[in-house]
Chains A and B, each alone.
Chain A
Amino acid sequence: MSNKKTPLSTWTRRDVLKASAASTAIAGAPMFFSRHAYGADFLNNPGDGKTVTLGFNVPQSGAYADEGADELRAFELAVEHLNGGGDGGMLNTMQPGNLKGNGILGKKVEYVTGDTQTKSDAARASAKRMIEKDGVVMVSGGSSSGVAIAVQGLCQEAGIIFMAGLTHSNDTTGKDKKANGFRHFFNGYMSGAALGPVLEKAYGKDRRAYHLTADYTWGWTQEQSIQASTENIGWTTEQKVLTPVGAGDFSQYITPILNSDADTLILNHYGKDMINSLTQAVQFGLRDKSVNGKDFQIIVPLYSRLMAQGAAENVKGIYGSTNWHWSLQDEGSKAFVKSFGAKFGNPPSQAAHTCYVQTLLYADAAERAGTFEPCQIAKALEGHKFDGMGNGPTEYRAEDHQCFKDVLVVKGKENPSSQFDLLEIVEVTPRAQVEYAPDHEMFAGGDLGSCNNGA
């Protein structure tokens, strides 16, 4: 018979007691070390804290830095208004309005900022830091659709609401849509749908279009949208040329246009690329050219005032579309422009407008939901109808989290009266004209999936 003992048999009563105490301590540890652990049914729950933190992720360097700076100003103003500062801006015009200027759900709003550098990897790293280190309950910002789609995906994985800033690609609420992501800004399809009839009226049904397109998601979907809308009015597409983002000198892409049969150039460029390509197209005499008895025309489907300032004289008479413009005379726009103008001395850009509105919409949804829980906020935003925010009656469609509202068709002003008076509104295209089915072919292939609380 062997004297060898089984391991269990070596345990004494004292060992068992020690092990029990250790197990209890380990099991209880998260409750001591994790803040508000008992109420942590979603990520970054502010619990009974007196503040709540929002994350604003914008380009503070790189090609869109000026736009990013304007977005940050808008976020700062939105937080000031949410906390009861200033004149309240759109809090006074928002309908229905649940915001009282006492923060969100009674908690003072604080914010952190990040620099996307207009690069997807930098934007994701910055958003990750905000979520993991700063404990933000919501991430917002732009510009660039590539960045927005990347950050939207990260927020979905983490379980945080993403309120997109300036992103115009169809894919943001199309094939790359996410249950945790919401877009107030319009998209390429809407630009095409709004521009088509105006272009037909201005330039007729018989035109040959030549596209120069930024080689990334936004450029591709805008090109597709504008091609569809112009072909719908009878135009033909002569050539589509992809250009590298940030090319600087576009002359080698412009010279072939001179020898083509095209009579219209469509610049699917934004920001610095648009300023450079438009300036160079004008230098090459395209606007003085006549093809098949027609004056050559240039179209910039997505305009912004900041870009128009960069392109100076060259924007005169050129058609495009925009999400919002400071000269709108509705009460919401006037309230926002007044607050922004008084604080910063200049009118807000469309990027600033969409960021300001998104922050207020998030806060309003949290108030209506009575919680910061992402899925409850998403539920409050889905199908939400509102007005008084500068775009007329607007709806956050539940199926794809895209806002539907009127779209502005604008034209470079011939005789500006001031340094900000660069675009004139040609038409306010009604929502019905730019609306599309959730399963439209340009938006197909994606799935919202289910909301993630990050618990």
Chain B
Amino acid sequence: MDAILLQILNGLDKGAAYALIALGLTLVFGTLGVVNFAHGAIFMLGAFCAVTFNRVLSMSTKVRDESVTLFEAFKEVPILTTKFPVVGPVILDYAVPLSLLVAIPIMLLLGFAMERGLIRHFYKRPHADQILVTFGLAIILQEIIKHYFGANPIPQSAPAAFAGSANISAYFGVGENIIYPWWRLIYLAFSVFIISCVFAFLHLTTFGMVVRAGMQDREMVGMLGINIQRRFSIVFGMAAVVAGMAGVMYTPILPPDYHMGMDFLVLSFVVVVVGGMGSLGGAVAAGFLLGILQSFASMNEVKSIIPGIDQIIIYLVAVVVLLVLPRGLLGRKGVMED
């Protein structure tokens, strides 16, 4: 029982990451009609916003290790902790969540710049051209990151208060020995919050209403005198912010490296297709569904029956869903259909 509950929790946690990235992908596709292969790179850039912010906060004085004479070995003492002994360590401890404050404007600007500077020139081009240009952009971005940060993952710590694990059994009286890392639970809650905010924004504001109308019939909205293009550019920026925030908060779970965006991108595209192209609800539902299935497929009991199922389950489910429901779980008629 404990094992099943743990895998459900793990699946929700995985699914939250997939859903957040897939949500941004679907937003961009649904509004601008662009298949954005650079979306994973935006997730990665968000993570590196946290790394950079942490490095700035951790600027240090170097205390030379005199016992080593063959090269320069030193221990770093962060200036923040020596100048501000009370507040400094706290700020350093909370560097990851604090870096959201920096990442949000940066990702918004980056999203605008990408859309205005490059992607808008490809709106009327075939999807193959869009895929090529955004994929090329993703490769350029990840090579830039590799050049400056190296290829190895760079670990980021969760705040000390959330670094350990929560005893779910003790808190909620469920199961006997369900222990789960605090930060993963926070990530799950954060994802649900962000997804809710995006849905609320699109459904409860005038801006969101116009955007949804534009997603349905762009020309009609334009004929009503609304500059839908400008709103769609804002949506692109918003999608970049969502992916960037997902990247920032994911750093204590998976030490970021230059390739992390590409690792998530493929899975997120499968999530979008399974959910239904252009369907925000579908992307979220498929994200959680595939996360849970992947988690269960990794159980030793399952793998002993079908070896290697953990590595193909997502693609297997995608095939089955598309055979039964060609538009995906919640796909709309007419999207990507000639």
**Which A residues fall within an 8 A CB radius of B?**
61-66, 239, 241, 244, 246, 248-249, 251-253, 255-256, 258-259, 272, 275-276, 279-280, 283-285, 288-289, 306, 309-314, 334, 337-338, 340-342, 345-347, 416-421
CA distance A63 to B257 in the complex (A): 9
Which residue of chain A has the shortest Cβ distance to B258 in the bound complex?
Answer: A65
CA distance A283 to B153 in the complex (A): 16
Which residue of chain B has the shortest Cβ distance to A338 in the bound complex?
Answer: B70
Contacting residues, chain B, for A338 (C-beta < 8 A): 70
Contacting residues, chain A, for B68 (C-beta < 8 A): 418, 420-421
Q: Does B129 contact A (CB under 8 A)?
A: no
Q: Is the CB of A241 within 8 A of B6?
A: no
Q: Is the CB of B76 within 8 A of A419?
A: yes
Which residue of chain B has the shortest Cβ distance to A306 in the bound complex?
Answer: B152
B142 to chain A minimum Cβ distance, whole angstroms, is: 10
CA distance A334 to B70 in the complex (A): 8
Q: Is the CB of B164 within 8 A of A248?
A: no
Contacting residues, chain A, for B300 (C-beta < 8 A): 239, 241, 256
> Which residue of A252, A258, A309 contacts B310 across the interface (Cβ within 8 Å)?
A252
Within 8 A of A (CB), among B107-122: none
Q: Is the CB of B72 within 8 A of A345?
A: yes
Q: Is the CB of B6 within 8 A of A255?
A: yes
CA distance A249 to B151 in the complex (A): 17
One of B28-36, B50-58, B179-187, B207-215 contacting the partner: B179-187
A26 to chain B minimum Cβ distance, whole angstroms, is: 49
Contacting residues, chain A, for B6 (C-beta < 8 A): 255-256, 258-259
B299 to chain A minimum Cβ distance, whole angstroms, is: 6
A258 to chain B minimum Cβ distance, whole angstroms, is: 6
CA distance A311 to B152 in the complex (A): 10
Q: Is the CB of B73 within 8 A of A421?
A: yes
Contacting residues, chain B, for A272 (C-beta < 8 A): 152-153, 257
Size category of the binding interface on chain B? 35 or more
CA distance A65 to B145 in the complex (A): 13
CA distance A340 to B71 in the complex (A): 8
Q: Does B253 contact A (CB under 8 A)?
A: yes
The answer to whether residues A288 and B165 also contact, given A248-B254, A310-B255 and a CB cut-off of 8 A, is yes
Q: Does B38 contact A (CB under 8 A)?
A: no
> Which residue of A276, A285, A417 contacts B254 across the interface (Cβ within 8 Å)?
A276
A302 to chain B minimum Cβ distance, whole angstroms, is: 16
**Which B residues fall within an 8 A CB radius of A?**
2-3, 6-7, 10-11, 13-14, 65, 67-68, 70-76, 146, 150-155, 157-158, 163-165, 177, 179-181, 183-184, 252-255, 257, 259-260, 263, 294-295, 298-300, 303, 310-311
Known: A255-B6, A285-B164. 8 other contacts (CB 8 A): A251-B14, A252-B295, A252-B298, A258-B179, A283-B163, A288-B164, A310-B153, A419-B74
Q: Is the CB of B65 within 8 A of A417?
A: yes
CA distance A421 to B67 in the complex (A): 11
Q: Is the CB of B10 within 8 A of A252?
A: yes
Contacting residues, chain A, for B299 (C-beta < 8 A): 252, 256
B175 to chain A minimum Cβ distance, whole angstroms, is: 9
Q: Is the CB of B184 within 8 A of A283?
A: yes
Which residue of chain B has the shortest Cβ distance to A271 in the bound complex?
Answer: B152
A276 to chain B minimum Cβ distance, whole angstroms, is: 6
A75 to chain B minimum Cβ distance, whole angstroms, is: 18
Most chain B CB inside 10 Å of its own CB: which residue of A248, A253, A346, A416: A248
The answer to whether residues A249 and B75 also contact, given A258-B177, A279-B155, A310-B153 and a CB cut-off of 8 A, is no
The answer to whether residues A345 and B155 also contact, given A259-B2, A284-B165, A285-B164 and a CB cut-off of 8 A, is no
Q: Is the CB of B153 within 8 A of A275?
A: yes
Contacting residues, chain B, for A280 (C-beta < 8 A): 253-254
CA distance A279 to B256 in the complex (A): 12
Q: Is the CB of B71 within 8 A of A347?
A: yes
* Residue contacts A-B, CB under 8 angstroms, 20 given: A63-B151, A272-B152, A276-B255, A280-B253, A283-B163, A284-B179, A285-B165, A285-B179, A309-B152, A310-B155, A314-B155, A341-B71, A342-B70, A342-B71, A345-B71, A347-B70, A347-B71, A417-B75, A418-B75, A421-B73
A-B residue pairs, 5 tightest by C-beta: A341-B71, A65-B151, A285-B165, A418-B73, A252-B298
Contacting residues, chain A, for B74 (C-beta < 8 A): 418-419
Which residue of chain A has the shortest Cβ distance to B74 in the bound complex?
Answer: A418
Most chain A CB inside 10 Å of its own CB: which residue of B75, B76, B158: B75
Most chain A CB inside 10 Å of its own CB: which residue of B3, B146, B179, B311: B179
The answer to whether residues A61 and B151 also contact, given A248-B263, A283-B183 and a CB cut-off of 8 A, is yes
Q: Is the CB of A418 within 8 A of B65?
A: yes
CA distance A418 to B62 in the complex (A): 10
Q: Is the CB of B155 within 8 A of A312?
A: yes
Contacting residues, chain B, for A253 (C-beta < 8 A): 298
Which residue of chain A has the shortest Cβ distance to B14 in the bound complex?
Answer: A249
CA distance A417 to B152 in the complex (A): 22
Which residue of chain B has the shortest Cβ distance to A348 in the bound complex?
Answer: B71
A422 to chain B minimum Cβ distance, whole angstroms, is: 11
The answer to whether residues A283 and B181 also contact, given A252-B310, A275-B155 and a CB cut-off of 8 A, is yes
CA distance A417 to B6 in the complex (A): 39
Which residue of chain A has the shortest Cβ distance to B150 in the bound complex?
Answer: A66
Contacting residues, chain A, for B11 (C-beta < 8 A): 252
Q: Is the CB of A249 within 8 A of B253?
A: yes
Contacting residues, chain B, for A306 (C-beta < 8 A): 152
Contacting residues, chain A, for B184 (C-beta < 8 A): 251, 283
Q: Is the CB of B13 within 8 A of A251?
A: yes
CA distance A345 to B70 in the complex (A): 9
Contacting residues, chain A, for B295 (C-beta < 8 A): 251-252, 255
Contacting residues, chain B, for A249 (C-beta < 8 A): 14, 253-254
Contacting residues, chain B, for A246 (C-beta < 8 A): 263
Contacting residues, chain B, for A417 (C-beta < 8 A): 65, 67, 73, 75
> Which residue of B73, B151, B152, B254 contacts A420 across the interface (Cβ within 8 Å)?
B73
> Which residue of A259, A275, A279 contacts B152 across the interface (Cβ within 8 Å)?
A275
Contacting residues, chain B, for A340 (C-beta < 8 A): 71
B36 to chain A minimum Cβ distance, whole angstroms, is: 21
Which residue of chain A has the shortest Cβ distance to B295 in the bound complex?
Answer: A252
Contacting residues, chain B, for A345 (C-beta < 8 A): 71-72
CA distance A421 to B253 in the complex (A): 25
CA distance A283 to B2 in the complex (A): 18
CA distance A104 to B7 in the complex (A): 60
Q: Is the CB of B253 within 8 A of A283?
A: yes
Q: Is the CB of A259 within 8 A of B181?
A: no
Contacting residues, chain A, for B180 (C-beta < 8 A): 284
Q: Is the CB of A251 within 8 A of B10?
A: yes
